[in-house]
Amino acid sequence: MSSHAFLPDTLSPAPTRERFPAMAAARRRGDAVFTLLCLVAFALVVLPLASILWTVFARGADALTWSVFTEVTNGISGGLLNAIEGTLVLSLGALAWAAPAGVAAGIYLAEHGHGAWAAIVRFLADVLVGVPSIVLGYVSYITMVVWLGWQFSVLAGVITLGVLVLPYIVRFTELSMRQNPPALRESAYALGCREYVATLRILLPAARSGVVTGILLSLAISVGETAPLIYTVGWSNYLWTGRLTQEPIGYLTYVIWSFINQPFPSAHALAYAAAVLVVAVVLAIKILARVLLRRRGG
């Protein structure tokens, strides 16, 4: 029997929308519903952010006078020079020790992170990310402010903020180092480079975009923190004299948290001015971090 006996005389045409109007209409309805859900999800993300930015910048733009940058806070009026200085001291001071420690730990996890000790370090870093910052601040208050007798001080705040951002730097560094192609390491060893030379002179520079991104995001986190600083730094209307202990210091997020609850227009103006500065700095850091990530991906 011929194999062609079971074939039809003519081939059936492919299904079309004209032949199945109900199926085509159902697909159009499904596409419309999916598009609507995407628009709703987009609005849920964008509208709150746009509302926050509009409120902060619309109310804070008028409050950004020259005196904000040149005068210290005087009660609930004056300027924000002391708070700006304190924010820079605390954030940069935290990165001064957290960035080297985090990068070193990330390099270790990427290059030698296969044993039990590395698993413990990763677990502790992940747990530390989930600890509420106010809990970390309270622990720092008990240990450093009270037990060690440092009182409200820059050193207590710097250590607390550094511990807060340390796991982010560790994980970003590890992930960035792991993205280096194996051929890069093999080429370094083939040229006779020692392990530390290959790591510090070849592998780490190749991953610098991701490492710097982690450091920048940690800086943004430290700039926007309030809760741990309330327990460790306190507040001061004066400029910092340089003492590491037994001297409180001002910072911008305290102005936002405290002054907005005062029933005075001058306090509200300072609160919105501080909010503009914090949001602008955080947005600038986030944008720079995204640019570095895209450069790394490209």
Phi, psi of 77 (to 5 degrees): -140, -165
| Rounded-to-integer distance, Cα 111 and Cα 32, Å | 49
Answer yes or no: is pLDDT of 202 > 90.
no
| Rounded-to-integer distance, Cα 204 and Cα 295, Å | 16
| Rounded-to-integer distance, Cα 237 and Cα 250, Å | 6
Report yes or no: 55 and 256 within 8 Å, Cβ to Cβ.
no
pLDDT of residue 6: 52
pLDDT of residue 151: 94
pLDDT of residue 60: 85
Provide the strand spans (E) within 59-175: 73-74, 77-78
The model's pLDDT over 25-65, given as tens digits with 9 standing for 90+, comes to 778 888 888 999 999 999 998 999 899 889 888 888 888 88
The model's pLDDT over 96-115, given as tens digits with 9 standing for 90+, comes to 999 999 999 999 998 887 87
| Rounded-to-integer distance, Cα 69 and Cα 12, Å | 79
Residue with tokens 């993205």: 179
pLDDT of residue 272: 92
| Rounded-to-integer distance, Cα 232 and Cα 90, Å | 11
Short-list 48, 47, 66, CA closest to 273: 66
- The DSSP letter of residue 131 is S
| Rounded-to-integer distance, Cα 193 and Cα 145, Å | 47
Confidence bin at 124 (pLDDT 50/70/90): confident
Close Cβ partners of 268 (under 8 Å, ≥ 6 residues apart) = 259, 260, 262
Report yes or no: 162 and 229 within 8 Å, Cβ to Cβ.
no
pLDDT of residue 13: 57
CA 222 to each of CA 81, 129, 143, 230: distance values in angstroms, whole numbers, following the listed order: 18, 13, 20, 13
The model's pLDDT over 263-274, given as tens digits with 9 standing for 90+, comes to 888 899 999 999
Report yes or no: 78 and 90 within 8 Å, Cβ to Cβ.
no
Answer yes or no: is pLDDT of 140 > 80.
yes
Strands 73-74 and 77-78: antiparallel
| Rounded-to-integer distance, Cα 151 and Cα 232, Å | 8
| Rounded-to-integer distance, Cα 59 and Cα 102, Å | 38
**Burial category of 143 from C-beta neighbours within 10 Å (exposed 0-12, middle 13-18, buried 19 and up):** middle
State pTM to two decimals: 0.83
Confidence bin at 249 (pLDDT 50/70/90): very high
Query: What's the average model confidence in pLDDT over 201-230?
Result: 90
Domains of the chain, start order: 66-294 (1.10.3720.10)
Query: What's the average model confidence in pLDDT over 213-231?
Result: 92
| Rounded-to-integer distance, Cα 19 and Cα 14, Å | 9
Short-list 215, 252, 233, CA closest to 79: 252
